[in-house]
Amino acid sequence: MNHTVFGKFAAVSFQKEITYRFDYFMAVLNGFLYIFIFTALWRALYAQGASVGNFTAASLTGYAVVAMVIRISFSMDDTTIAQKVRDGSIATDLIRPVSFFMMNLAQCIGFSAFHTAARGVPILIFSIFLFKLNIPFTAQGMAFGALSLVMGYLILFMLNYLFGLIAFWVIEVFPFQLMKYGLLNLLGGSVIPVDLFPPFMKPFLTLLPFQHIFYTPAAILVGHATPERALIMLGEQAVWVFIMGAASLLAWNAGKDRLVIQGG
C-alpha cells in the first residue's frame, strides 16, 4: 500500500472519530479519573510505608501518569474486524486492491492520532502541572522513548489484529476479548509497573508481549530504566514486533482461505 492510500485511510478514520466524539468530555474526565485513582493509590501505599520496588513516591506518580497517558493515546477500536466478519461488510474491504493488514493499521493510526491529540496530550500537560511532575527529559531518553512508543504501539495493534482474526474461526469472539483485556490490564503496565510483580510472575511477563506495550515505553520515558537497561528492553520489544508480525502474517494466510463472507 503506498503512503497516499495509507494517509487517506488514516485521515478518514481520524475524521470519523471527530464526528462521533459526542462523549469527548466524558472520555477526558474518565482519563483524569484513572490518573487520580492510581496516583492516589500509590501515594497512600507509600504513606503506609510500603516499599514499592525501586520506585520513589515521585517517580511512581510520574510513571503512573505517563503510562496512563500512553494507554489513552493508544486507544484502538478493537471490535471492527469481528464486527465486519459478523455482518459480512468485510467483503467491501476485500474487493479492493489493498492489504487488509495495512488498511487496518492506517485506520488504527488515524483513530489513535485523534485520541492522542484530543485526550492524551491535554491530560499529560495538565497532569504535569497538577502533580508537579519532575520527569527527567533527556535527549537520549526521548529518542529511546519515541522508538519504544512506536514498537509498543505496533505490538498492541498486532495483538488486537490477531484477536480480531479469531473471528475468522469462531463467531463468538467476546470471551477472547475479555481474556485479552484481563491480561493487558494485569501485565501491560498501565495499572501496575511490572517490577512490582513477585518473581513467580516473571515467566508470564517474558513469554508474553504485554509488558512491552505500556510498561517499556513508560519506564524509558520517565527515566525509570537506565540507558543500558533501556537498550535491552528496546531489543526485546523489537523481537516481539517481529514475532507478532510473523504471527499476523501466518494467521491472515490461514484465516483468509476459511473466511466465510456472510450475507448477500
Ligand X SMILES: Nc1ncnc2c1ncn2[C@@H]1O[C@H](COP(=O)(O)OP(=O)(O)OP(=O)(O)O)[C@@H](O)[C@H]1O
Out of other proteins, ligand X, Mg ion, none, what residue 259 binds, judged by CB under 5 to 8 A for its kind, is: other proteins
Within positions 245 to 264, which residues make up the interface with Mg ion, using CB under 5 A? 264
**Pick 44 or 261: Cβ nearer ligand X:** 261
Site string for other proteins, 178-197 (x = CB under 8 A): xx------------------
Nearest distance in Å: CB 255, Mg ion: 24
Nearest distance in Å: CB 170, ligand X: 14
Nearest distance in Å: CB 87, ligand X: 12
Q: Which residues contact 237 (CB under 8 A, 6 or more apart)?
A: 148, 151, 152, 155, 212, 216
Out of other proteins, Mg ion, ligand X, none, what residue 98 binds, judged by CB under 5 to 8 A for its kind, is: other proteins
Out of other proteins, Mg ion, ligand X, none, what residue 8 binds, judged by CB under 5 to 8 A for its kind, is: other proteins
Please tell me the count of residues contacting ligand X according to CB under 6 A: 3
**Following DSSP, what letter does each residue of the chain receive, concatenated?**
--HHHHHHHHHHHHHHHHHHGGGHHHHHHHHHHHHHHHHHHHHHHHHTT---TT--HHHHHHHHHHHHHHHHHT---TTHHHHHHHHSTHHHHHTSSS-HHHHHHHHHHHHHHHHIIIIIHHHHHHHHHHTT------HHHHHHHHHHHHHHHHHHHHHHHHHHHGGGT-S--HHHHHHHHHHHHHHSSSSS-GGGS-GGGHHHHHHSSGGGTTHHHHHHHTT-S-HHHHHHHHHHHHHHHHHHHHHHHHHHHHHHTT------
Site string for other proteins, 8-27 (x = CB under 8 A): xx--x--xx--x--------
Nearest distance in Å: CB 29, other proteins: 25
**Pick 91 or 186: Cβ nearer ligand X:** 91
Q: Which residues bind Mg ion (CB under 5 A)?
A: 264
Q: Which residues bind ligand X (CB under 6 A)?
A: 260, 262, 264
Q: Which residues bind other proteins (CB under 8 A)?
A: 2, 4-5, 8-9, 12, 15-16, 19, 88-89, 91-92, 94-99, 169-173, 175-176, 178-179, 256-261, 263-264
